[in-house]
Chain A
Amino acid sequence: MEVLGIAVDDGSLGAMSRELHLRIQALEAEMYELSGHTFNVGSPQQLQRLLYDDLGLAAGRRIKTGRSTDADTLEALREEHPIVDLILEWRQLTKLKGTYVDALPLLRERDGRVHTTFNQTVATTGRLSSADPNLQNVPLRSEWGQRVRSAFVPDRGQVLVSADYSQIELRVVAHVSGEPELIDAFRSGQDIHRRTAAAVGGVAPEEVTAEMRRSAKVVNFGVMYGLSDFGLARDTGMSREEAGAFIAAYFQSFGAIAAYLEGIRNFAREWGYVETVFGRRRYIPDIRAANRQLRQAAERMAVNMPMQGTAADIMKLGMIRTDQALRESGMAARLLLQVHDELVLEAPREEVEPLAALLREAMGGAAELVVPLDVDVKVGDNWRDMTPLSPSAG
């Protein structure tokens, strides 16, 4: 994968860069007008003075260099002054421009392709990390993030094929906890978040509102990271009490998950390590640290590692099987990238169908869990505009 690299469309990146540049300038102009003077938006020092002194906004956390101007702090101040929104957008765009839009064309090598470096010894969970560029950080949900994605293209005459493990972490949760509700939902192909919301709210799945579903979704994912009522409140706009109640109801309905989490924490405390389903261990000595911060961070890692780690293991096994199968098949398709739960390949158009079948088998068969492993395969002319391929009958 490192040797192959991936092609990027620097024409479109160039156009993006110009567009971003104009937008950033426009933002700056507006900010200068609102504040009455020019300043360096990128300087936290100057921002501090502007926001907290000149404009008299309520100062947030104190940090080493004064008062915090980080994203969370500014988020909270959005209502107070229009300039805050502009600052947030400015930051997002300059980061995107610097890290991706402008950087990618510079990373192209003689073959016109960008060669990212993959490292499997950085992340404690066992996931692959990537650098130059860091593919993990391409913002998935924002419009601009998607535009950056669209700049990743296949070789001439070929298409990009993406295979993604759908909801693998939750499936792992179902497997390790043995939670019957989750297992049943996955086996019958139901919408897991809707089902969760129904169970927690004590209503029928059809009666679940979008809001309930959203909260259920946050908790479903948050469970793996040691989500607290505070965290849930922040991510859903509930009050802390409501969030607390929601979480309590969640664990009431999903007793097996609660038991599992408790069991993991105890195990980690007693033995000093945790394991993925495949037996790969993470030693967590801080679980017995005197310092409360360290200890709590360790507990979160202890809870998280078996699930994330197992997902990472499955991804790697899926990659190995895919590589093996590709060699045996003699197909021209090539594995290019691995990011989050996804594999990206490029292939001639004719190979798409057999490739999709190969990927479903290689990735889907990477592990035997109590729930099926679903693989979503998509095809497209760039990494953003991809259409799902439905699995053929049988």
Chain B
Amino acid sequence: MPRETLLLIDGHALVYRAFFAMPALSNSRGQMTNAAYGFTSMLLKVFAEHSPVYAIAAFDPKGPTFRHEEFAAYKAQRPPMPSELVSQLPLSRAVVDVLGIPVVELPGFEADDVIGTLSRRGEELGLDVLILTGDLDALQLVTEHTQVYATRRGITDTIVYDLEKVRERYGFEPPLVVDFKALQGDVSDNIPGVPGIGEKTAKSLVAEYGTVESILAAVPSMKPGRVSRALEEHAGQALVSKRMATIVRDLDVPLDLEGARLGEYDRERARDLFEELEFRSLIPRLPGGGLGVPSGPLPGAMVPATGQVSLPLVPAPSATHVTVVTTGAQAHEMADRLRAAGRMAVRTLVEEPARRGAVVGVALATLDDAERAWYVPVDHDPGALGDAGQERADTSAVAAVTALLADPGVAKTAYDLKRELLAWRGRGVRVAGCDTDLLLIAYLVNTRTRVPPLNILAEELCEARLDGEEVLLGSGRTARRPAQLGVQEAASHFGRYAALMGPLRTAGRCAGSTTRWSSPSCPSSPTWRCSASPWTTARSAP
């Protein structure tokens, strides 16, 4: 008989992670909500993916824990939590409450310890345990029946650690992770470990000898050297470190399974809370299959979900600093940045039609920092100078850009990828790594007859101002061709355009639709798979 799943939530660690991983987000009353949003989103994701039968959340209590008492330096170097983060803890607890998940907090002990204890109890009761945390310390708890669902860099970038994965990562069994940490130390928790012993050494010592105690006992028989000396000198510290790193598993905390059973929760209250927090795009993901499922069987094509909902804003910075790139050195610096990020936004300025026109210039930006962008003038008309100082980028700069565009390892985001592909084809460049087309996303979730241009979308979803292209180019007798634009004005307009793609992409991902769409001219056909929420204008009512 398959075992039921008990989900143990490390509330504190998750909220903390989310705070630093999520873009700035606040509700209309100015309350910052990014961490609470990320936390909630994570929670709902795990519910959907693993369908736990029981769930319990653990938070750190106020006041010092036994670790603080025993070891004064424990976590001492940590800066106090930013107030914007602290203010989101009660919000996160409210979410947990409204979903009917009990919270356990034991003064003097960290959430880790509660989780460690409950995971053992859960296993004894014949359950499978899933620990949701951002903190890899939990890996020591992994067993045949306990897994750790950890977030990595972003909040949606997650990995599930089972026994195999832990063995793979470390080369030894989970309980020894404690010993490993005891030797290596942990900067974020201010666990000292043994000075001079780093990751590699610690791993090999533990793999060979096992526990800290065993390692210390074996010191006399080790080859004398830096390592054995360090172990000898800091033996005491190693043991204290081990104590700090070990998660307590036998606390006097009852496991109230029935109270932890997930089931009927007050959906109305949950909706209200989400509305208040302005997490409207999360409402359809509330467990229980949406609100008010229509009665009667529906044809195969229809999948019930909740109705229209508007998006939370993903605010963008009010200005973007655009660097005009003309030398090879500048171009390489930019390319390095973009390659390191692995993804970029691009907008090419080209004579219409894109399929035949000459490339005039190209704006590039990362997706993570809307305050920066670059513009490379390729072929503006001579005399269309502005204050850039040079009207075209030199050949090595252009070469660096085309190499970047053709690099499949750098994912490209654009508004109308086909246009970008066609524009560069004329120069013999095959744009690779096509990843996100904002035009297609806007089309899929749009309710109006025409898909709005990017500057309108940016205004509605990111509160960012940008003139339409027609304003820049003019119309009628004063109309200018793209090549007639000055480098500076093109840079400031299109650089901003590209920079806004990052926030728009985030907004688009909150929306999304359960759809597989095709782009015949784009070699890859990315699949958007996420809970649905239409991208109506942020202000319109149904």
Residue B82 CB within 8 A of the other chain: no
Cβ-based interface call for A55 (8 A):
no
B307/A263 in contact, CB under 8 A: no
Cβ B513 vs Cβ A272 within 8 A: no
Q: In this complex, what residue of B is CB-closest to A121?
A: B443
Contact B305 A280, beta carbon cutoff 8 Å: no
Partner of B422 from the list A3, A124, A176, A266 (CB cut-off 8 Å) is A3
Bound complex: CA A176 to CA B445 (Å): 23
Query: Given that A124-B449, A270-B307, A271-B307 are known contacts, is A279 also in contact with B514, CB under 8 Å in the complex?
Result: yes
Residue of B nearest to A317 (CB): B518
Asked if A267 and B520 make an inter-chain contact with CB atoms under 8 angstroms apart, the answer reads no
Docked-complex contact A283 and B518, CB < 8 angstroms: no
| A275, B444: Cβ atoms closer than 8 Å | no
Known: A121-B443, A273-B534. A280 touches B515 (CB 8 A): yes
Question: Residues of A contacting B85 with CB < 8 Å?
Answer: none
Question: What are the residues of chain B within 8 A of A280 when measuring CB–CB?
Answer: 444, 513, 515-517
Q: A109-B356, A273-B308 are in contact. Are A284 and B447 (CB under 8 A)?
A: yes
Given contacts A120-B519, A121-B451, A281-B444, contact A178 B299 (CB under 8 A): yes
In the assembled complex, A278 has its CB within 8 A of some CB on chain B: yes
Would you give the 0/1 interface string for B5-20, flagging 1 where the beta carbon is closer than 8 Å to chain A? Answer: 0000000000000000
| Minimum CB–CB distance for B295 against chain A, Å | 10
B300 and A277 contact, CB distance less than 8 A: yes
Total number of A residues with any Cβ neighbor in B under 8 Å: 43
Identify the B interface with A (CB < 8 A): 292, 294, 296, 298-308, 353, 355-356, 418, 422, 425, 439-440, 442-447, 449-451, 513-521, 525, 532, 534, 536, 540, 542
Within the complex, which residue of B440, B447, B525, B532 is in contact with A121, where a contact is CB–CB below 8 Å? Answer: B440
Q: Could you tell me if B301 and A176 are in contact, using CB atoms closer than 8 angstroms?
A: yes
Q: How far is the CA of A46 from the CA of B302 in the complex (A)?
A: 52
**CB of A300 within 8 A of chain B?**
no
Complex CA gap A280/B445 in Å reads: 9
By beta carbon, the residue of chain B nearest A310 is: B301
CA A266 to CA B517, docked complex, whole Å: 26
Are B513 and A281 closer than 8 Å at their CB atoms? yes
Of chain B, the residue at the smallest CB distance from A256 is B299
Question: What are the 7 A-B residue pairs with the smallest beta carbon separation, nearest first?
Answer: A121-B443, A316-B518, A280-B515, A283-B447, A279-B514, A272-B307, A272-B308
Q: A223 to nearest B CB, angstroms?
A: 15
Q: Name the contact of A316 in the complex, choosing from B301, B418, B450, B520 (C-beta under 8 A).
A: B520
CA distance A317 to B293 in the complex (A): 31
Residues of chain A with a CB closer than 8 A to B542's CB: 272, 285, 288
Chain A positions within 8 Å of B418 at CB level: 2
Q: Which residues of B contact A319 (CB under 8 A)?
A: 518, 520
Task: List chain A residues, Cβ under 8 A from B302.
Answer: 263-264, 267, 274-275
A162 within 8 A of B: no
Minimal Cβ-Cβ distance residue in A for B514: A279
Q: Which residues of B contact A279 (CB under 8 A)?
A: 303, 513-516
Query: Are the CB atoms of A281 and B301 closer together than 8 Å?
Result: no
> For the complex, what is the distance from the CA of A276 to the CA of B514, rounded to whole Å?
11
Contact, CB under 8 Å: A1 / B513 = no
Most buried by A among B299, B355, B425, B447: B299
- Verify if A323 is at the interface (C-beta below 8 Å from B): yes
Contacts of B440 in A (CB 8 A): 120-121
Q: Determine the distance from Cα of A280 to Cα of B516 in the docked complex, in whole angstroms.
A: 7
Q: How far is the CA of A320 from the CA of B525 in the complex (A)?
A: 9
Bound CA–CA A106/B365 (angstroms): 39
**Interfacial chain B residues near A267, Cβ < 8 Å:** 294, 298, 302, 304
CB within 8 Å for A283 and B308 given contacts A263-B299, A277-B301? yes
Residues of chain A at the chain B interface (Cβ within 8 Å):
1-3, 109, 115, 117-118, 120-122, 124, 175-178, 260, 263-264, 266-267, 270-281, 283-285, 288, 306, 310, 316-317, 319-320, 323
CB <8 Å contact, A278 and B520: no
Which chain B residue shows the least CB distance to A260?
A: B299
Minimal Cβ-Cβ distance residue in B for A117 = B353
- Do B355 and A176 have beta carbons less than 8 Å apart? no
What is the bound-complex CA distance between A288 and B542, given in angstroms?
A: 8
A178 to B442, CA, bound (A): 32
Assembly CA distance A180 to B77 (angstroms): 73
In the bound complex, CA of A261 to CA of B213 (Å): 74
Q: Which partner residue on chain A sits nearest B450 by CB separation?
A: A122
Chain A neighbourhood of B300, CB < 8 A: 175-176, 178, 277
Whether A115 and B294, one on each chain, are in contact in the complex, defined by CB atoms closer than 8 angstroms, is: no
User: Is the CB–CB distance between B536 and A275 below 8 Å?
Assistant: no
The 23 sampled A-B contact pairs (Cβ below 8 Å) are A2-B355, A2-B418, A109-B356, A115-B355, A117-B353, A117-B355, A118-B520, A121-B443, A175-B300, A263-B299, A264-B299, A272-B534, A274-B302, A280-B444, A281-B514, A281-B532, A283-B445, A285-B540, A285-B542, A316-B517, A316-B518, A319-B518, A320-B525
Q: With the chains together, A283 CA to B446 CA distance in Å?
A: 7
Residues in B whose Cβ lies below 8 Å from that of A284: 447
Chain B minimum-CB-distance residue to A274: B302
Residues of B within 8 A of A120 (CB): 440, 443, 519
What is the CA–CA distance of A120 and B299 in the complex, to the nearest angstrom? 27
Chain B neighbourhood of A277, CB < 8 A: 300-301
The distance in angstroms between the C-alpha atoms of A276 and B302, with both chains bound, is 8
Chain B nearest CB, measured from A271 CB (Å): 5
Instruction: Name the B residues within 8 Å of A271 (CB-CB).
Output: 294, 304-308
Closest residue on chain A to residue B292 by CB atoms:
A270
Please give, as numbers and ranges, the residues of chain B lying within 8 Å of A316 by CB-CB distance. 517-518, 520
A276–B301 CB distance below 8 A:
yes
A317: chain B residues at CB < 8 Å are: 518
Q: Do the beta carbons of A3 and B425 come within 8 Å of each other?
A: yes
Chain A residues with Cβ below 8 Å from B536 are: 283, 285
